[in-house]
Amino acid sequence: MYCNSGSLDENKDSIIKYINSIKQNSYRLSKLINNIVDTSKIEAGFFEMNLSNKNIVEVIEKIVMSVVDFTQSKGLNIIFDTDKEEKIIACDPENIERIILNLISNAIKFSNEGNEIFVDVKDKNEFVEISVKDNGIGIEEKNLDMIFDRFKQVDKSLSRKTEGAGVGLSLVKSIVELHGGTIYAESEFGKGSKFTVKIPSGKVLNQNISYSGNVRSENENVKVELSDIYS
Applying CB under 6 A, which residues contact ligand ADP?
106-107, 110, 134, 136-139, 147, 153-155, 164-170, 193
Q: How far is the CB of 58 from ligand ADP (least distance, A)?
A: 25
Nearer of residues 52 and 131 to ligand ADP, judged by Cβ:
131
Nearer of residues 28 and 87 to ligand ADP, judged by Cβ:
28
192 phi-psi bin (left φ>0, alpha ψ -120 to 50, beta other): left
Q: How far is the CB of 150 from ligand ADP (least distance, A)?
A: 8
Q: How far is the CB of 210 from ligand ADP (least distance, A)?
A: 33
Nearer of residues 125 and 159 to ligand ADP, judged by Cβ:
159
* Angstrom distance (rounded) from CA 189 to CA 150: 22
* Angstrom distance (rounded) from CA 102 to CA 107: 9
Q: How far is the CB of 168 from ligand ADP (least distance, A)?
A: 3
Nearer of residues 7 and 40 to ligand ADP, judged by Cβ:
40
